[in-house]
Structure 1
């Protein structure tokens, strides 16, 4: 859409990806009406601190609000979840019944915390999840009250919550169904390294173990957790850290392909169930399933901070280019990356370790807090992970960017004209 265009753009999702998309729209000259919809009442905020500094800050929790650029001039519809998308009338319906008409739409609704399986008895009070700012403040209060903590799920979020609770002096049990923490994301070798870090910090990792049920006290609140290994663990609080589910419920009946996330083409344009491109609709962040060159074009939804930032900007650029024949559409080709800090160890990764079929250990030094692993798929580099060796990531990133570009060439994904 050209500068000065008076048509309306709507961004559904008032978090990192949505805010970055809105900012990019303005930076690239869009001057028309811009509306940002968010299901929470809060202005956009940063999520990574929720499982770290918000839980551990000794006095008051830090401010996690994201800076809203001066001159954004957006109409904010906060505390109003989107409930329906109609592609024919080009409208988004909100929870209060309002209907927003759009000329261009960015879907950036993120993901929700995966809840306890509905087929099992409902957990008692004291079993919580961590996704929102309000969740983090409630968990902070629970940790301040003391008592043993059980974290169910040893992924990135679960590990960070366990580390934060341990830093506050709580007894922590970390329950994981896989053989190692983070096994599905970074493999068994790196997962075992992380398990050793947890043990050294005084956390009790229970791997290859699941939760069979919850124990309650006379007041009906959580008192403990019953595990599949036949043991029971005392708990004042239990956190479900079972991963996320893309927030796509509001898209039911829209005609979009949205199983496991909104399906996108390489330009972040949203697809219908028949695979055709929906005009003037793009997606970004945790909710978007995008073809990944390092995974041979498999569509993946990546729940990482850098992915949300990069896709938010790229989706906005695609939306504008799609309305202007003079602008080129550019495929999204950023190399994924993520990070986590556990017990003083700085975990940094680039690429897609989760899609590898082979790992190669370059360095492994637990005492020195150093680890360097490369990940390969059919002999090709697809990812790398380091601890204490951040300086090595630049060369890995360069090699991965080359691999991604080669895939794009092989599959003949061009930079094309708008429309």
Structure 2
């Protein structure tokens, strides 16, 4: 079993994107911009934001592609996609907001609506590049678009027109069964006390950059669950089971996940946070179920990944690699791995997992995210630890080690 090696450069983005603070002020500003825009004035405003996003994030994307060994032609192609479609969908740039606030995206802890990453596969010396976004409309958070659904709909429609490889059947299914549209219900009508989250985000998009850009969609179903007065587990289960009518293994695999959640003690149950699917033509498309748990010892990680012994035992080589990266990235002694990590109260604290389910198998495939953000000693130590882990396995960038690459982006 391959260990996923994701490294977000979310902290690097903080040099470019200011923390966003006052939600109501942003909503008023967006409304004023739309109400007062005549002719090309709104277009000019959006173009300015788009250029700023492309200057900040697009430039970093190009650097990451170059360090990952992408050819100049591929770099240009991916940068053009970002400039033409992605940057215009990221909403108002913080530099244009002044002291008012933008949409508080759940994409990153500082509300930046973009996350860039490198991913090393077991078979490749150099990584691939990927990024995730939350499209943001000018009216996001307002009465017109309270849960920010318009921008994602618009962007996916544009991508569908320019790509022959998109398959959106499952996207349409999950949009209907896991999301709340602005016309269906408002957050203040649902009641925030029913939603165990402080954010309003409902949908993310991600792009794996290979010869072409592979689209994935991510659904955060807690608002849908609250609007129906059901648990998130129940809403996701109903959505998966309706697909399982034609693909029984999806239902069988999801039941293993649900059984594990139900078996955990009250107060220790993992919660479903995200459901995702790939949107490319495939003979065996996948669905990923993301769980967050506040049990943080390495032993609890192993138990969760194995769904409480409901899956085949994890390979010894995987367990060895897991302990190695756990200690290197988090700065933990091997003798302390059985102890929980320090308690954190942030919404994104704890351990995030996903379980991939496919029509071809009755068993989910587990992966875990090493929680460097809240439990690492420092950015420097986290980068050093991950770089050491990668170097031991012959993984690198074109300009040197992983640490060298991160340092060059500062």
More strand by percentage: 1
> If the length of structure 2 is used for normalisation, what is the TM-score?
0.26
TM-score w.r.t. the length of structure 1 is 0.26
